[in-house]
Structure 1
Amino acid sequence: TTSGILSSSLTFNKKATKLFLKPFGILSPASVYLYKGELIKTETIIDKLGLPVFVKPNQSGSSFGVTKADNEATLEKAISHAFEEGDEIIIEEFIEGSEITCGLLKAGSKEIIFPLCEIISKNEFFDYEAKYTPSKAEEIVPARISADKTRECQSLASYIYSAVDCRGIVRIDFILSGDKFYFLEVNTIPGMSAESIIPKMARKYGISLRDEERIPEVVYGMFSDSKYPCNLPSSPGVPWIVISAQSNFSFPVGVLQEKSFLFTGICPVFSSSIIQFVPLIMIL
């Protein structure tokens, strides 16, 4: 992905993202925020949010430290567990509904919004095990919701993408409860393995993230504004080397696949019999 430092920092902080989006009218589950060391009254939390609740570290990914608590005893344990991952946690009310995620990319003046994905976890929720064990979750693309609701979710995701100034391929998660979408989080570094959600969405859209015929369309648009100057030849067959603004070194795709960098541009290089450099789209 290519979201900048400010956007990535904002969206990695669940509390900050929810508070930032609230004035825009974006619905999200009711929450309580706690800091390590403060006096915690679980009965007050239950009075406000009810049960069950989700307890999460405020800044974490892949559902690390996340627990669903069904009673006061499990809530106390969940709070302790979440504090093992950080000094601030967020406790959210449970919203009954379908988990829907939207993947999208804005490249210059173009916007690509992939078909929605409906996530059905075989665990109690879409936890770390369910996310990374194929047999533990069903990911249905396109999501089994109406065309009107699909357009509404895609429009909402596009609005959030722009509001928090995302760049590159991003995944935005929601719960559809009744006729309302509740925002969960923005993932600016979505998984890119063959079985990850974004590649599944892209294939259903009709492209592969390794599809050379579509590389110019995405890459040229991505670097079309003044922040990202580039001078690319038209041939998608030319290998590329990626220049990172955060380093004097040029990294091959194997290093960058799971990293997020602010790119300043890319330039063509000759092929190597040992290391083959690839187009930027490979690491979005």
Structure 2
Amino acid sequence: MEKKTVGLFFGGLSNEADISVISAKNIIKAFDYSKYNLVLVYWHKNNKFYVLEDAEEAGHPSEEQEITMGDFSRLFDVALPITHGKYGEDGALQGLFEIQKVPYCGCRVLSSSLCMDKAVFKTFLIGHGISQVPFDFMDLRGRKKSDVDQWVEKIKGSFELPVYIKPSNSGSSVGITKVTDFNELKKAVREAARHDDKILAEQGLVNPREIEVAVLGNDELIISEPGELFLGGAFYDFDEKYKKNRTRVAIPADLEAGARDEIKSTTEKVYHLCDCKGFARVDYLLCDGRIYLNEINTLPGFTDISMFPMLMKRSGISYKNLISRILKLAL
């Protein structure tokens, strides 16, 4: 039987493009070439796609390597996007695959969009009784400065310190500020607004435990044992994740059986509620005996320090086998 060809998409237009390239290099290294052929598709900041011979060419492809969306179905049988962040993870790229009728790995357009927009995601889950920290949000589009000032005053009156101010649509903790003095709120809003038009405020917890769970599957799911992050800094921001390398992990997390069961059952519930497919990572906060759902990451990282492959490895699925399983789940 002829081997299928996989189009590995990486790069993209978001502030996480460099992380995407690192994830892609790891996948290239661990890819099972005995089962599949591999085509490297680099999405440049200029919004053009290029087929590369080597991931090291990322950032400076030649004109001869450029392809169009119409070439997708000719060049590969299935797409594997590892494009973290805006446009690559929020349903935009997934929509291109749908238009070109190319099967692809991971969440569909709707679930990608839903899980990427933190404000919409959290609002959606309120009706399903999922425990979350208190939050509020504001869409800055069409708003006057007085509207923003009024919202900031509302946050001061209804939240306790610390408060997290986040862009509603961003990943890898880019643009997030932990506010420990209400005088810093406006500055935090300006920082978040650099990355998105919609701003989210979340009630911070005091010394929460950060718990993450990996999920693999469409209808029948493999749900990993929860893992825990031990943070070296004030919170798990971009530098802590990818530069300072001070964060330790424990897999499995040291949890009581009841907490572990609740986390795993909630994971299954929200994965299906949000119509997730293929694979995702579900993140929680644990504080004072309560479990709070934080977010679903529909395109988790595949770097050397990424939790998703580490959690799956603990479930008995090697990095190479994990990639092959994800490809088999493509729709």
- In the alignment, structure 1 residue 104 sits paired with structure 2 residue 222: no
Give the one of 136, 143, 146 matched to 1:32.
Answer: 136
Letter in 2 for 1:142: P
Letter in 2 for 1:163: L
Give the one of 174, 180, 183 matched to 2:293.
Answer: 183
Residue 270 of structure 1 is matched in structure 2 by: none
CA contact (8 A) 1:3 1:166 kept: yes
CA contact (8 A) 1:174 1:183 kept: yes
What secondary structure, in the 3-state scheme, does the structure 2 residue paired with 1:7 have? helix
CA contact (8 A) 1:33 1:89 kept: yes
- In the alignment, structure 1 residue 149 sits paired with structure 2 residue 253: no
- In the alignment, structure 1 residue 123 sits paired with structure 2 residue 226: no
Q: CA deviation at 1:134?
A: 6.0
CA contact (8 A) 2:162 2:205 kept: no
- In the alignment, structure 1 residue 11 sits paired with structure 2 residue 11: no
> Within 5 Å, which residues of 2 pair with 1:88-237?
88-96=198-206, 97-108=208-219, 110-133=220-243, 135-211=245-321, 215=324, 222=329, 228=331
Percent identity between the aligned chains? 30
Counterpart-to-counterpart distance in 1, 2:291 and 2:237 = 20
Counterpart-to-counterpart distance in 1, 2:226 and 2:305 = 15
Counterpart-to-counterpart distance in 2, 1:126 and 1:215 = 30
Counterpart-to-counterpart distance in 2, 1:154 and 1:205 = 14
Counterpart-to-counterpart distance in 2, 1:175 and 1:64 = 19
Q: CA deviation at 1:43?
A: 3.5
> Within 5 Å, which residues of 2 pair with 1:52-67?
52-67=162-177
Per-residue displacement from partner, 1:166-209 (whole Å, max 9, x unpaired)? 01110011111222211111100000123210111111111213
The alignment's TM-score, normalised by the length of structure 2, stands at 0.63
Residue 55 of structure 2 is matched in structure 1 by: none
Letter in 2 for 1:61: G
What secondary structure, in the 3-state scheme, does the structure 2 residue paired with 1:39 have? helix
Q: CA deviation at 1:2?
A: 1.3
Q: CA deviation at 1:44?
A: 2.6
Distance 1:84 1:147, change over 3 A: same
CA contact (8 A) 1:123 1:130 kept: yes
Name the count of aligned residue pairs: 220
Provide structure 1 residue ranges, at least 5 long, that are not aligned to the other structure: 229-284
Letter in 2 for 1:69: V
Q: CA deviation at 1:17?
A: 0.5
What secondary structure, in the 3-state scheme, does the structure 2 residue paired with 1:40 have? helix
Counterpart-to-counterpart distance in 2, 1:107 and 1:26 = 21
Counterpart-to-counterpart distance in 1, 2:131 and 2:218 = 27
CA contact (8 A) 2:168 2:196 kept: yes
Per-residue displacement from partner, 1:52-103 (whole Å, max 9, x unpaired)? 1000001111111000001122212111111111111001111232111111
Counterpart-to-counterpart distance in 2, 1:191 and 1:117 = 15
What secondary structure, in the 3-state scheme, does the structure 1 residue paired with 2:245 have? helix
Give the one of 60, 69, 73 matched to 2:183.
Answer: 73
Provide structure 2 residue ranges, at least 5 long, that are not aligned to the other structure: 1-104
Q: CA deviation at 1:133?
A: 3.1
Counterpart-to-counterpart distance in 2, 1:14 and 1:107 = 22
CA contact (8 A) 1:129 1:136 kept: no
What secondary structure, in the 3-state scheme, does the structure 2 residue paired with 1:183 have? strand
Q: CA deviation at 1:159?
A: 0.4
Distance 1:219 1:78, change over 3 A: closer
CA contact (8 A) 1:104 1:114 kept: yes
The alignment's TM-score, normalised by the length of structure 1, stands at 0.73
Q: CA deviation at 1:121?
A: 1.4
What secondary structure, in the 3-state scheme, does the structure 1 residue paired with 2:310 have? helix
The CA RMSD measured in Å over matched residues stands at 1.9
Letter in 2 for 1:53: V
